[in-house]
Structure 1
Amino acid sequence: MKYIVIGLGNYGGKLAEELTVLGHEVIGVDVREHYVDHLKDKIATAFVLDATDEIALSVLPLKSVDVVIVAIGEDLGASVRVVSLLKKNKVKHIYARAIDDVHKTVLEAFSLDRILTPEKEAARMLVQLLELNASVEPFQIDEEHYIFKFNVPAKLAGYGINELQLEKEFDLKIISLIRGKKAQNCIGISILEREVANEFPEDYIIQPEDALVCYGLYANFMKFWKSIR
């Protein structure tokens, strides 16, 4: 795929490099010459160019790339103007970075393909690493909703699923039960076998090797997880 990355600071520069490593063709753009010099030998093409200038922006192949990513974060005015010019030029797919809620709210008015919030996502990933550990696998649906697969903590073994009251107390919907049982493979080594059950009795008694999959707000799951630690 072909990308244009506008804004080659810490975030945009790394993004351009990583996309190139994956085999994509990347055109990098920044008004600051030293950022362009740093990347010019690492990506397909790099321009020293003021993307807020409509005439300057027009030299870029905006119609022939798959996605234009506006990675400008610190300058709200520049970010919004560049996005506005890209929309004016009828660029089909635009991603843009937002560094705070005000920035995000303004960008939402443009109906972009995606608004990127790397600082918030990085903070959340760190919290997940510190608080959830390897027992939980989160899958993000949107900014606030997740699917969580988690190994049942030992302290919950012996309780019925209905006793957890996930839906009533935390507004978390259980999607699946993953039954676990210890077995031996063909050479006698102990292994854990898993069986997914999308339907199960509400009074099913949780076993130590079981796991659950649930859906709901990130904040609600964190409250639940904190309550059982």
Structure 2
Amino acid sequence: MVIGLGRFGGAVALTLERMGHEVLAADLDPRLVEEFAGEVTKAVEADCTDVAVLRQLGVADFEAAVVAIGTDIEASVLAVLALADVGLTNIWAKAVNENHARILERIGAAHVVFPEQRMGERVARLLNERLLDFIAFGDEFAIARLRAPEPIVGLPLMTSECRRKYKVTVVGVKRKGEDFIHAVPDTLVFPDDELVVSGRIPDIEEFSAI
């Protein structure tokens, strides 16, 4: 179930539907409900802060629920509380700040996400033009796609010693017109190669700038 059909909630609902899941999407705005009616399994106009409404919708039988309400913090909190009251445990909720997140976690949200904050951080890192793609896992670790730094071009990975010198692991290499190559010690890095690397965020950023 997805509660709230704004940009974030709508994207979650449509993606889950495309992945083959049955999706019940709910919002108080009839225009949004009408917009998604033909895109998901079922779209309903409903007040999902009301436990009785959730029971009528059969939410207790669902595998998971996503509370995608953003600006109305009170409605977000009440929706999570109502979901917890009907017995749902796998609750994902969108938070707008740390205080909001702490409240959501204490009343029953198993997972709290900050989509705007995460996207802002990702865009900021990609703006340096050295990183081509970037996925952070928590505050420290990430996987990134970047252009091969000049100092390691022409060398096999065992010689460039990226892990020892730069504290990053080269996971794979993408060469124009060729399939993705899983990196091994004797993988040779060419001038226009794109590398997929993993490591601590500061180390990846430093590596991309050498």
TM-score by length of 2: 0.74
Is 1:80 paired with 2:68? no
Correspondent of 1:102 among 99, 102, 121: 99
Find the counterpart in structure 1 of residue 143 from structure 2.
147
* Residues 1:150 and 1:75: Cα distance change in structure 2 (over 3 Å): same
Find the counterpart in structure 2 of residue 170 from structure 1.
none
Correspondent of 1:123 among 103, 110, 120: 120
Structure 2 CA distance for aligned equivalents of residues 93 and 192 of structure 1 = 35
Check the 8 A contact 1:70/1:83 in 2, yes or no. yes
Deviation of residue 11 (structure 1)?
Answer: 2.0
Percent pairwise identity: 25
For residue 106 of structure 1, what is the amino acid of its counterpart? I
- What secondary structure sits across from 1:215 in the alignment? strand
Find the counterpart in structure 1 of residue 168 from structure 2.
174
TM-score by length of 1: 0.68
* Residues 1:144 and 1:58: Cα distance change in structure 2 (over 3 Å): farther
Check the 8 A contact 1:67/1:94 in 2, yes or no. yes
Aligned length: 202
Give 5+ residue unaligned stretches, structure 1.
Answer: 167-172, 181-189, 201-205
Find the counterpart in structure 2 of residue 64 from structure 1.
61
Q: Could you say which structure has the higher strand fraction?
A: 1
* Residues 1:86 and 1:176: Cα distance change in structure 2 (over 3 Å): same
* Residues 1:38 and 1:113: Cα distance change in structure 2 (over 3 Å): same
Structure 2 CA distance for aligned equivalents of residues 71 and 194 of structure 1 = 37
Is 1:215 paired with 2:192? no
* Residues 1:151 and 1:161: Cα distance change in structure 2 (over 3 Å): farther
Is 1:9 paired with 2:10? no
Structure 2 CA distance for aligned equivalents of residues 25 and 179 of structure 1 = 37
The RMSD of aligned alpha carbons is 3.8
Correspondent of 1:43 among 40, 43, 47: 40
* Deviation digits for residues 197-220 of structure 1 (CA, Å, limit 9, x no counterpart): 3xx9xxxxx97668584411x355
